[in-house]
Structure 1
Amino acid sequence: MAVHLPLLANHSPGRAAVTCRYRCGDACFHAVPNTSANPYFGDLLSRRAALTAGVVAAIGAAVSLPGSTARAGTVPRGLDFTPVRPNTLDQVTVPDGYRQAVVIRWGDPLFPDAPAFDFDHQSAAAQARQFGYNCDFAALLPLDPLGLANLLVTNHEYTTEEFMFRGYDAENPTEEQVRVSWAAHGMSVLLVTRTPSSGRLTPRFSRHNRRITLHTPFEVRGPAAGSKYLKTSADPTGTRVLGTVNNCAGGVTPWGTVLSGEENFNQYFANADALADPRLSRYGVTGTASERKWERFDERFDLTKEPNEVNRFGWVVELDPHDPTSTPVKHTALGRFKHECANVRVADDGRVVAYSGDDERFEYIYKFISKGKVRKGDSKAARRHNMTLLDDGTLYVAKFTGDSPPEEIDGTGKLPADGRFGGSGEWIPLASGTKSFVPGFTAEEVYVFTRLAADAAGATKMDRPEDIQTHPRTGVVYCALSNNVDRGLAGKEGPTEANPRVDNRHGQVLELTERGGDPRALTFAWGLLLVCGDPESPDTYFAGFDKSRVSPISSPDNLAFDRHGNLWISTDSEGKLAGYNDGLLALPVEGPERGHLKAFLTVPRGAETCGPVIGEKVVTVCVQHPGEVDGASADNPASHWPDGGDSQPRPAVVAVWREEGGKLRDIGG
């Protein structure tokens, strides 16, 4: 088949404690791993003179892009829908004129021999043949020009055992419960078909269908493959790893493979305190017993027995969903940190550029530029070559400079005198192949302990860099910065122009224009497109658009573009705006309606919106952890979505499409 390329004390406000506990190992309860003394924006203002005039000129492009797709008083193409009102309903809510249906749920079979899901009689063997838990990133890869047959590829970020098993004892999980959780992590690949008259997607059994779990072999490639820091008793070569965990956002490559970022891997490992290694604590690997107690059933999760196993996670992985026999890869050239994502753009000369955010408080934004160039076409030889491009190149980290006087960035979110948050910046090289650019670090150490190398290089601390996407036509880079309630606390970095609020509960969306529009450029201009929150609050900003006309938004997480160049944003606020479920919102980034944010859908109570795919005929989202609110559990469910009645909540993928007069229409008109 052809490949068609494409709330407790001190708890984070709004987020359920149970979500923090199982998804990120209570990261907000622990000390911030980044204790480096990198300079504040105000200390960097003098650097502006060293930047080229081209960068300064590009600042305007980061604020008002050319090529408007709308006229004053008109609705931008692709956004012709009535916004969904904020709500706390236990359902997916979509605009009038749209339909929705569940595509696949946790536990649904992927193979003919897989048993039907039985919540009270789960087994590891069954889960390894069923759709995994807590789907996050999703890709929809067409197998025909009309998109009637597609490969749906999803991540399964984490497991919440209290919601998976009745009577779960967190201090004494059974071995079978642990093995079910191992099988519920990873990724899924499945064939889905769409009838020409509908946007409904139906799963099919297919030779493409596949489950990636904690026991799937992965190949380690790139400059750190075989590193002494990656060798274990089970793998003395340091080139083969079993499984992938806590996979968050991802991306689709121009050659039709899927990239997935390993994020909060730290929480799965035990007895870090016994080693007292600052290289562990810099990644948040601390404590004695792990939350899930996996170390009781597999020694590789006990750092006193396998101290290097933790270094084998925190990478970008690549999966070829078109070849179910292929071995997925962990790419060391892109560095090791809590990857939210990896998204690829091809430069004019054929080299590829991959952007990635490190999703934790006060962490950094990175990019990688390949040494090799893309080969065109979908032949096997071209695909084999292109799948090596992320193995060799140069890894960079971002440093931002604000263009406003420091006293104008007072932490309240008030706009500076020039009416915008913006400035310039540069990409600092960390390593290329076997060469390190960071004094005191070998190249091997840069790749395996990337956070420490970026500290030494003086990178700019950001408010939880999440998904990063590039505009399909202009190439402007957009980054979701989710939130950071620690900004401005005693002993922590205060407000900066790119992170202008203390106690930042709602986040912002950053817009970055590389010099000359060239992704290989090492300087850039930047501006904040959105400063999120309640539009009625004075500390919010919607690209200068009339705030009385926009939808509220908190904690932007995943980003996507439609074919018209509109930006779509999924949220992970979990109640930071009281009375609001999370959702999927969209806005134009060009023209007179720039900044006009509208809510397209909302998800059930306790759920997070993840992995949006914005197609011409159908939109899909992953509904992660429905009903995950404090006080709830499998014994006391707070949601019964998607099956209704007295059923247990189940994470699922949902498809949404537009109907008019009984006929399928293009999304957004």
Structure 2
Amino acid sequence: MPSDLKLLPMSGHTRGNRSAATCHFKCGNACAKDVCNTSGNSYFRDVVDVALSRRALLGAGAVAASAVVIGTELASAPEAAADFGGFGQGRGRLGFTAIAPVERTVDTVTVPKGYDWAPVIRWGDPLFKRTPDFDVNRQSAAAQAGQFGYNNDYLNILADRSGRAGVLVCNHEYTNEEIMFDADWAAANPDEVRRIAIAAHGFSVVEVVRKKAGAPWSYVRGGRRNRRITGSTPFRVDGPAAGSELLRTAADPSGRRVLGTLNNCAGGTTPWGTVLSGEENFNQYFQGTGSASDARYGISAGATERGWEHVDPRFSAQNPGFENEVNRFGWIVEIDPQDPTSTPVKHTALGRFKHEGANIRIARDGRVVAYSGDDERFDYVYKFISKGKYKPGNKRHNMTLLSEGDLYVARFTGDSPAAEIDGGAGVPSDGAFDGSGRWLPLVVNGRSKVPGMGVEEVLVYTRLAADQVGATKMDRPEDVEPNPVTGRLYIALTNNTGRGVGANAPVDEANPRTANRDGHVIELTERRNDAASLDFAWNILLVAGDPAKDPTTYFSGYPRGKVSPISCPDNLAFDSKGNLWISTDGQPGTIGYCDALHKVTLEGRGRGRVEQFLAVPAGAETCGPVIHDQDDSVFVAVQHPGEGGTFAEPYSLFPDFAESPDAVRRGDAYAPRPSVVQVFSTRDSGGKGKGRPKDRRKRRDVDRGRSRTGRGHGNGKDKGRG
């Protein structure tokens, strides 16, 4: 693996402190390549359809999501409580004073006064009794298949009835070989490096226990429900495209059995207790054929940068019989964390694209609705409505609900004159970026609604289908989350520096900022607050950035001088009161601070107030937030700590913090390790913090390429992926 970041394609082309390694390993240097969506479908400002007012969309007496919303709207969506990990909704606590932004060189988790943090599980921790302990200098594919995977992203803690035991479920998005392996060893063992990487993808399910509510969790080695799902685990394919000629290969002529899941990003927990996850930047693992459909998905005909085609022929479509292997990735997958013997499923009914994840509401008539964003510049937001209805307590039935139903893509329409959307993100004269929208049909009642495409083609080439119907091109739609208290949807638009640049799509009211490097968040309310409705109203909750430096920021009218800076919104979560929590992916390169987790007030006079709760270490991204405010606990998946450094000169020593360079060279477990972290209250009845041993709490900074431990660090590049 390269020890010099100048060898990476995005080196010198990223912003600020963005690591070229992130672009290389996370998304296959997407920003160095042409925009995938070159379709000529109508842009937002060209679609003028405001006949349905926001008031009409929501039904008589209900006010649409507007610049300022006071009070809670209709009945809450109890089914969404699954993401509270079994704790349910109620009166949350989790009081804190917002922390100041943390400089991007600080190598620790920074939390508010009255809280502390500890890792629950780390990359390489053994899940099974016979799995070897992690040794950074003695890695193997066989060992990794039984150890916690790399770059944890989506996360949930599903507690049992006792509240003292449960399972931790986490997916593993991608690998950073340049900080995982000694460069000389990797150069001498390239195929084993690739096999280890394949094993480090997928999922980990691991039992966790604690002494009492609010106490830190610890994982159980050898737990009954422990499981690793890797890039080679068999998956069952279901839905209308299962068995299609488009999914058949020499290794699977049935088109119904796929090995592995790759680049799993965000996800969601269903009301019936299973976990959904999206296969996102799968394109980078496959060598394509140069077809138009490959180009629309960002798949190159050249050799891949990961080189997996050298250890498994299925990763090259140029190998006879494997032309369709890439079509078997890019789906929503479902796993049952309670049954380690179950076969995970890929759901073709939800379409194939770069799914960030999927999250569920139950419609008024009982049908299940799943929402998903396609994380690519100028791509779309989707929803699926099941044919069958949800039956509380009937898990077996409910696990069939994502196999058949209708698929839609969103079109957003603004209500302001085009002249008022000038790219500077100035708020229109009506006081808000807002408007109406429509879910456009792709597949309904088992029939394609896209001219010239059959159902199987729509589902396998969903991007091409959405291009045809005129969906709105968005600024990298990532997490799409329903609020469990109000039922409204929130969409994280991470960034898009290509917006309005050159021949790319111009600004519009739903994507109002030219060269949008900081991103924004949209709030969406479906008609009558019914998930099955095809009409909706929307408004922009916030236009992100550092308000002290950027006058284009917007926080629903809340004073800009009273919010925490925030950039590149990625994963979303809610507490039991319905407050929004936003984790970020890219702040070091856009506003110069470590990535973070922020709380956002959604109701009343405080609507739009952003308060920073924590910051993750140097080079890391904040992923998978879980808010257990009943227990004064917050969980995050700290992904790619030290990205931008190398194995020889790590940019981070999180989470164990070696006290000397020799510790890592000896093979002690001090290499930077992606980890699941719990933040917990240390306040006892007297309100005093318990704290941790002093050496675990040290602030570690990168200073001119050196850490305070005296160990060298890489200089890290831009931290904005869009």
* TM-score (norm: length of structure 1): 0.93
> Per the alignment, in what secondary structure is the counterpart of residue 660 of structure 1?
coil
Provide the secondary structure at the position in 1 that maps to 2:167: strand
**Secondary structure in 2 matching 1:280:** helix
Using a 3 Å threshold, how does the CA distance of structure 1 residues 14 and 435 change in structure 2: closer, same or farther? farther
Residues 68 and 591 in structure 1, CA contact (< 8 A), matched pair in contact too: no
Residue 91 of structure 1 pairs with residue 108 of structure 2: yes
1:298 alignment partner AA? D
Shift of 1:165: 0.6
Aligned partner of 1:117 among 134, 137, 149 = 134
CA distance in 1: counterparts of 2:39 and 2:63, whole angstroms: 29
Alpha-carbon deviation of 1:549?
Answer: 1.1
Of 275, 283, 293 in structure 1, the residue corresponding to residue 307 of structure 2 is 293
Instruction: Give the secondary structure class of the aligned counterpart of 1:541.
Output: coil
Over 3 Å counting, the alpha-carbon distance change for 1:114 and 1:384 in structure 2 is same
**Do residues 432 (structure 1) and 431 (structure 2) align?**
no
Query: Could you tell me which residue of structure 1 aligns to residue 638 of structure 2?
Result: 623
Structure 2: 5+ residue stretches without partners: 1-9, 74-90, 662-669, 689-722
Contact 1:173 1:293 in 2 (8 A): no
Aligned to 1:562: 575
- Who is 2:675 aligned against? 652
2:476 corresponds to 1:464: yes
CA distance in 2, matches of 1:32, 1:87: 33
Q: How does 1:377-526 map to 2 (within 5 A)?
A: 377=393, 382-432=394-444, 434-526=446-538
State the shift of 1:659 in Å.
2.4
Contact (CA 8 Å) 2:54, 2:537: kept in 1 or not?
no
- Aligned amino acid, residue 591 of structure 1: G
Residue 653 of structure 2 is matched in structure 1 by 640
CA 1:87–1:231: 2 relative to 1, 3 Å: same
TM-superposed CA distance for 1:132, in Å, is 0.2
Q: How does 1:126-205 map to 2 (within 5 A)?
A: 126-145=143-162, 147-167=163-183, 174-196=190-212, 198-204=214-220, 205=222
The answer to whether residue 552 in structure 2 is matched with residue 539 in structure 1 is yes
| C-alpha contact 1:78 1:564 (8 A) present in aligned 2 | no
SS at match of 2:197: helix
SS at match of 1:643: coil
The residue aligned with 1:65 is: 69
Deviation of 1:139 after TM superposition, in Å, equals 1.1
Q: 1:63 offset after TM fit, Å?
A: 3.7
Q: More displaced, 439-448 or 7-16?
A: 7-16
**Counterpart for residue 84 of structure 2:** none
Q: 1:313 aligns with which of 324, 329, 335?
A: 329
1:58-105 superposed Cα distances (whole Å, 9 cap, x missing partner)? 663344434269xxxxxx964631111112310001000012110000
2:417 and 2:367 mapped to 1: Cα distance? 38
Aligned-pair CA distance for 1:547:
1.2
Give the equivalent residue in structure 1 for 2:362. 346
CA–CA separation in structure 2 for the residues paired with 1:169 and 1:246: 25
**Counterparts of 2:500 and 2:39, CA distance in 1:** 15
Hey, what's the Cα distance between the residues in 1 that align with 2:171 and 2:54?
Answer: 41
Q: 2:715 maps to what in 1?
A: none
Partner residue, 2:692: none
Match of 1:35 in 2: 38
Contact 2:16 2:592 survives alignment (8 Å): no
**Aligned partner of residue 179 in structure 2, secondary structure:** helix
The one-letter code of the counterpart of 1:187 is F
Tell me which moved more, 554-563 or 643-652: 643-652
For residue 29 of structure 2, what is the amino acid of its counterpart? D
- Aligned counterpart, 2:296: 282
Partner of 1:572: 585
Letter of the 1:623 counterpart? V
- The answer to whether residue 343 in structure 2 is matched with residue 327 in structure 1 is yes
The aligned amino acid for 2:231 is: L
Structure 2 match to 1:11: 14
Change (3 A) 1:313 1:136: same
1:596 deviation in Å?
A: 1.0
2:232 matched residue in structure 1: 215
Per the TM alignment, residue 552 of structure 1 is displaced from its structure 2 partner at its CA by 0.4
> How far, CA to CA, are the matches of 1:635 and 1:373 in structure 2?
55
Verify: 1:371 aligned to 2:387, yes or no: yes
Higher alpha-carbon deviation: 258-267 or 587-596: 587-596
Alpha-carbon distance in structure 1 between the residues aligned to 2:16 and 2:405: 40
The alpha carbon displacement at 1:573 in A equals: 1.2
CA contact (8 A) 1:529 1:595 kept: yes
- Aligned with 2:178: secondary structure? helix
C-alpha distance in 1, partners of 2:92/2:290?
A: 56
Residue 520 of structure 1 aligns to which amino acid in structure 2?
A
Instruction: Give TM-score, length-normalised by structure 2.
Output: 0.86
Query: Displacement of 1:574 after TM fit?
Result: 4.4
Shift of 1:50: 5.8
Does residue 1:55 correspond to 2:81, yes or no?
no
Are the structure 2 counterparts of residues 281 and 82 from structure 1 closer, same or farther at C-alpha, using a change threshold of 3 Å?
A: same
Structure 2 residue 372 is matched with structure 1 residue 362: no
Q: Which amino acid aligns with 2:303?
A: A
Secondary structure, counterpart of 1:539 in structure 2: coil
Q: Hey, what's the Cα distance between the residues in 1 that align with 2:173 and 2:55?
A: 43
Query: One-letter code of the match for 2:671?
Result: Q
The amino acid that maps onto 1:65 is V
Q: Which amino acid aligns with 1:234?
A: A
How far did residue 237 of structure 1 move? 0.3
